[in-house]
Amino acid sequence: MSSGNSETIWNLYLTLGLAAAVILFALISALVIYQRRFVKLHRTYSKNLLSAQEEERAWVAREVHDDALQRVAMLAHELHEVADEPPGNVDRQRQRIGAIVTEVEDLGVMLRRVAHRLHPSLIDQAGLVPALEGLAGDVSRAHGIQVDVEIPPSNAIPGVPRDVALILYRIAQEGLRNVARHSGVKRASLRVVPTQDNELSLEIVDRGRGFVHDDHPKSHKGLGLVSMAERARLADGRLEVWSEPGKGTRLRAIVPAHQGEVS
């Protein structure tokens, strides 16, 4: 009987040991596999980021070189002609100067567009809420999408530092761009809600075609979602994505808010 007992106990130990071994092996393999994917994801991310920055620069260069400089050259040419023209025909001169003024104004609009793309100054001047409202308006005009904005008045939401506001603005920008490009519907909603834990949540919802989302790097061809998550993380926050084919997409960026700072 005692030898039977000790055998039983030995077998129990063996069972526990085997179970622990299986669990430990799973844990370590998971860590190794996950870490490798993480590294790979970040390598593609920084590569994509680099090329995206290059593209952005190329865009600015193109705008400035092909468009702005052309216009400046033309303006210079026209101004020369006005200057060389014999005096007398005042009406004609006035007409030409009027045309030049319009062109200068156009140029101003174009340059403002370039500058705005580089940095949305509205955030500095007016704060996050008007900047988001402006963004919604821009998107409506540019893509014909109706954006239902639902933002409590500035004094009802906790303030966030300026860099966090910029991060939220960029996330909204990319989120709405994705709606315009991928959702297939002409309507979206943009909501800013304070949470109970003194956080600020920015939500972009569409009822469009949706997509299958997982965190496998292979499926991350685009840069938008990754960079939104990265941006949220920069602000000590997080990004949540709900989507299902045919059921639309809901994007939520949550960042901590700090009491008493400008919004």
Partner 1 sequence: MDTLPWELHAATALEGLIPLFVWLRSRLAKTEISRPRRLVMAWLLVQFTSDLFQLYTMSRGISNLWARYLISPTSDVLMLYALSMWQTHPLRRIGIRVAMLVLVPVWFGYAIAEGVGAFGRYSDPLRSIVILVATLVTLVGNGLTTTTRISRHDWFWVAAGVALYFALEAALGPFLEFIFADSRDIALRAFLFKARFDILAYLLIAAGLLCPQETARPSGTSI
Footprint of partner 1 (CB under 8 A)? 8, 11-12, 14-16, 18-19, 21-23, 25-27, 29-31, 33-34, 37, 210, 213-215, 225, 229-230, 232-233, 238-244, 247-250
**Residue 67 DSSP label:** I
Longest alpha-carbon distance in the chain: 129
Contact partner at residue 23 from ligand ATP, Mg ion, partner 1, none, CB < 5 to 8 Å by partner kind: partner 1
Secondary structure class of 241 (helix, strand, coil): strand
Q: How close are the terminal C-alpha atoms of the chain, in Å? A: 78
Q: Give the nearest residue (CB) to Mg ion.
A: 224
- For 238, the token pair is 């997080």
Give dist(CA 200, CA 134) in Å, integer. 19
Smallest distance, Mg ion to C-beta of residue 194, A: 27
Q: Which residues bind Mg ion (CB under 5 A)?
A: 178, 222, 224
Smallest distance, partner 1 to C-beta of residue 26, A: 4
Consecutive H or E run containing 45? helix 2-62
Contact partner at residue 26 from partner 1, Mg ion, ligand ATP, none, CB < 5 to 8 Å by partner kind: partner 1
E strands in 50-115: none
- For 83, the token pair is 């200057």
Give dist(CA 39, CA 76) in Å, integer. 53
CB-count exposure of residue 10 (10 Å: 0-12, 13-18, 19+): exposed
With beta carbons less than 8 A apart as the criterion, state whether 190 and 149 touch. yes
Q: State which residue, 20 or 97, has the beta carbon closest to partner 1.
A: 20
- For 204, the token pair is 């972009």
Give dist(CA 103, CA 74) in Å, integer. 10
Q: State which residue, 129 or 229, has the beta carbon closest to partner 1.
A: 229
Contact partner at residue 15 from Mg ion, partner 1, ligand ATP, none, CB < 5 to 8 Å by partner kind: partner 1
CB atoms within 10 A of CB 168: 25
Contact partner at residue 22 from ligand ATP, partner 1, Mg ion, none, CB < 5 to 8 Å by partner kind: partner 1
Q: Which residues bind ligand ATP (CB under 6 A)?
A: 178-179, 181-183, 206, 208-211, 222-225, 249
Smallest distance, Mg ion to C-beta of residue 21, A: 45
Smallest distance, partner 1 to C-beta of residue 50, A: 20
Contact partner at residue 209 from ligand ATP, partner 1, Mg ion, none, CB < 5 to 8 Å by partner kind: ligand ATP
Smallest distance, partner 1 to C-beta of residue 80, A: 57
Smallest distance, partner 1 to C-beta of residue 178, A: 13
